[in-house]
Amino acid sequence: MIERRAKAVTLRASEQREGQPRTIRGLGAVYYRAGDAGTQYELWPGMVERILPGAFAGVEKQARDVLSLFNHDMSRILGRTGNGTLELRDTEEGLEYEVEPNMGTADGPQVLALLDRADLRGSSFGFSVLEGGDELHTEGDLTVREIRSVELFDVGPVSEPAYLGTTAEGRELRHRVGDYLERQGRAAADLARAHRQRELLLAQVEWELAGGA
């Protein structure tokens, strides 16, 4: 399952310089920093996702040919790692990308023009969590998904950030979260019953020691 996230963070185009191609540079994914709510993704009310530092470790050498797409549209390719027009970097902040858009298509000049006028709002990326690369836990009333290891499929600018809660990809994760919360509920109920049984047993022992009939 390919999942997609978007965030309105650093996105800009390089200045026009004679003999130099213009590029688009953005922060495709943000690593979570404790205490900074802006570095986590709200998937839906009561559910957030945190991409932990190191989740994109080794992305620069990833064997997969990663695409840079405009609005996740496979027909609107801006560049790709396979031909060297897309570069990826795992930084302290998160996944940084720089793409040299194809100026021979309509999308290259269009995206640059949108960036020059600040019409584009952010970047997005498509990924798949590697086996064992994520974990669910609760913090009070909040359910948290922590992602530690992913495989990247695409990254690029988007005109309107869209979150998982409004996409088809969210359904499978919702089922996982539901199963997790149900297990947590059962575990809590089992623990409460065990405590109650212990209290009853202690009460019985105290009663007998006190000479109860």
Give the DSSP letter of residue 202. H
Q: Would you state the pLDDT for residue 169?
A: 47
* Helix (H) / strand (E) containing 205: helix 170-209
Chain segment 146-198, per-residue pLDDT in tens: 999 999 999 999 987 654 433 444 566 777 777 877 777 666 566 666 667 77
Chain segment 36-64, per-residue pLDDT in tens: 988 998 888 888 999 999 999 999 998 89
Chain segment 73-91, per-residue pLDDT in tens: 999 999 999 999 999 999 9
Q: Would you state the pLDDT for residue 201?
A: 73
pTM of the model: 0.78
Tokens of 90: 């795992």
Q: Would you state the pLDDT for residue 165?
A: 39
Tokens of 170: 């969210």
Q: Would you state the pLDDT for residue 121?
A: 78
CA distances in angstroms from 165 to 4, 49, 55, 151, 153, listed in the order given: 11, 11, 22, 21, 20
**Position 207 pLDDT exceeds 60:** yes
Q: Which residues contact 51 (CB under 8 A, 6 or more apart)?
A: 29, 30, 31, 32, 41, 94, 147, 150
Closest to 54 measured CA to CA, from 28, 87, 92, 81 = 92
Chain segment 87-132, per-residue pLDDT in tens: 999 999 999 999 999 999 999 999 999 999 989 878 999 999 999 9
Q: Would you state the pLDDT for residue 58?
A: 93
Residues 110 and 119: their CA atoms lie apart, in Å, by 11
**Position 213 pLDDT exceeds 60:** no
CA distances in angstroms from 141 to 45, 47, 163, listed in the order given: 10, 9, 20
Residues 51 and 213: their CA atoms lie apart, in Å, by 62
